[in-house]
Chains A and B, each alone.
Chain A
Amino acid sequence: MGHELIGFLFPNDVHIHWTLMIVLYPYVTGLVAGAFIVSSLYHVFDREELKPLGRFALAASFCFLSVATLPLLNHLGHPERGPMVVVTPNFSSAMAGFGILYASYFLVVILEIWFVFRADMIRYAAESRGFKRMFYATLALGVYDTSEEARALDHKITRILAAIGIPMACLLHGYVGFLFGALKSNPWWSTPLMPVIFLFSAVVSGIAVLIVLYQLAMKIKGMPIERETISALARWLWLFMIMSLTLELLEIMTLAYEKAEEWEVIGPLLANQLSISFISVQMVLGGLIPLILLGIVVVMGAYMDDRIRNTLSMVASLLLLMQVLAMRWNVVIGGQMFSKSMRGFRDTYVPGMFEKEGILAAAAILILPFLLLVVFERILPTFDHLGQKTGDLNLDLDSEPRLG
């Protein structure tokens, strides 16, 4: 017939389909990677000042890991298909790649937890009876060997697993950044820096959440907050936040200086739609301010009252937790706010309170890992080995003097 437009329906470039859930997914995954790296600093690199957190950080990363895929499963709406990612793997799919990586990393974390807590499980089994005993005995897989040799072996395996876990944690979170960075249709995502930015901000959020949780846990348990531990965490946090902030700025600077065609839409995006969440929250409130607060803790730490150090690092950590959330929001939602044609903007996105993927659902998913952590702590206390128990009952390896 020769009419140009036959059968052609124009794209309805209106909606934002990746919701709050897709903001939470990299956020929770990031908490995992950060917490695991802290635990590995102790288990692999023998950072004694992080000893109080060695086990707790491992438990925390396990709890976050258990929840990390929930936002995705909720978004996609078919949770029963989730496990198929590993049962019927598709190695050519980027998203399936995440599932496979996630599952293998989960395995490493579970194994490491098992080897770290094995002696404890056996002790709890020995100390209790009835159902409780059966429970701990099952956890220990029915082997009650707590001999010197067995525990030395556990220790060695723990160290190997923790060492394998570091690159895996980096890969896992770098991969989440890759999922965005590899979408070449979207200039706000498509940059090779994306995996690196995600990785560093993940470590930031993970250390920050540990600082908060450690202080809270010590308050609840009535145990002292170790000065060395907080100082070390603050130092690591400062380092990683500087790198993460620098990378985030470098990315914008490159875009702004190159002024390629995408800047036409990204410039206004940053100046208008994202002015609060990017400039005010991600850069100033969550970036500059913690930078100064932690700088004070690091530089003047030696002269500082413990109370002040704890408070400063607590405030900085809370701000950084918000910063990383804002960064995820700016990436995920920001990247969908402009038209794929790059000629203008779509509707804004305001998550509803009671929607399937709304604020309430997000809050529930965010609270869940902390509840899990409480349960974990009930079953396998993570701080008890810190010299609370009397000598002969304590079969725990970590409380023995370390070699080398």
Chain B
Amino acid sequence: MEPASSLKHTKHIFRVSFLLGFVLIVMILSRGLFVPKSWGQYGWYRGDAVPEHRAKPVVHGGDQSCRECHEDQYDLREEGAHVGVRCEGCHEPVGSHVINGEMTAPMFIPASFELCTGCHRRLAARPDDFSQVNPQQHLEDNEMDLTDTVCTECHDPHSPF
């Protein structure tokens, strides 16, 4: 075949290539629309995320922040097995309760056996020497029915024994 006539029958190929090229260009151009401006400023994330997060109010205060007003529970916990479990781990961040030294809202009370079983339910993945119970078995052994507050009827959450 001579080149002129072989090109004659390639119109459809040009057309489909054109269409493909068009889609590709639209895709490449639209990338700019979807990638946030500050992307990649420091790494594989939005640079603006840093100041945004920095501007958020601090809500956690640590155990010491509760101590000022709840000395009793703090001291109680110091003596018991829960000495390493943080107040805000069971309750909520201090910021939901106290702002600038003033109580703004009542603190959440985690009155549910799910709180305790979340840490103490027997699971294969937990170290053997960590205290775990099979909740059902434990309650049967102690002849109690399952209610939301059953665990705290015998154990003080701030000092379980």
Contacts and interface: CB of A to CB of B under 8 A. Distances in A.
A149 B35 CA distance: 45
A114 B16 contact: yes
Given A5-B84, A114-B16, A13 B119 contact: no
A159 to B, nearest CB: 14
Contacts of B12: 118, 140-141, 143, 145, 150
Contacts of B126: 10-11, 13
Contacts of A305: none
Given A7-B89, A142-B15, A340-B125, 11 more contacts: A5-B84, A6-B84, A140-B12, A143-B11, A153-B10, A338-B124, A339-B123, A339-B125, A343-B125, A344-B123, A346-B124
Interface string B1-45: 100011011111101100110000001001100110000000010
Grouping DSSP codes into helix (H, G, I), strand (E, B) and loop, the B interface class, with mixed when no group exceeds half, is: helix
Closest 10 CB pairs between A and B? A344-B124, A5-B84, A13-B125, A143-B12, A149-B9, A150-B9, A341-B125, A339-B125, A339-B124, A3-B84
A114 B9 CA distance: 16
B16 A111 contact: yes
Contact of B124 (A8, A9, A111, A343): A343
A310 to B, nearest CB: 39
B149 to A, nearest CB: 21
A6 B118 contact: no
Nearest to A344: B124
A3 B123 contact: no
23 contacts: A10-B125, A11-B126, A13-B124, A84-B34, A88-B31, A88-B34, A90-B44, A92-B44, A111-B16, A140-B12, A141-B12, A143-B12, A145-B9, A145-B11, A145-B12, A149-B1, A149-B5, A149-B6, A149-B9, A150-B9, A339-B124, A344-B123, A344-B125
B119 A153 contact: no
A157 interface: yes
A168 to B, nearest CB: 16
Contacts of B19: 141
Interface of B: 1, 5-6, 8-13, 15-16, 19-20, 27, 30-31, 34-35, 44, 83-86, 89, 118-119, 123-126, 130
Contacts of B13: 153, 157
B27 A87 contact: yes
A3 B79 CA distance: 12
Contacts of A149: 1, 5-6, 8-9
A12 B118 contact: yes
A78 to B, nearest CB: 14
Nearest to A154: B12
Interface string A4-30: 111111111110000000000000000
Contacts of A107: 20
Contact of A12 (B10, B11, B84, B123): B123
Given A141-B16, A150-B12, A87 B89 contact: no
Contact of A141 (B15, B44, B118): B15
Contacts of B123: 12-14, 339, 344
A147 B5 CA distance: 12
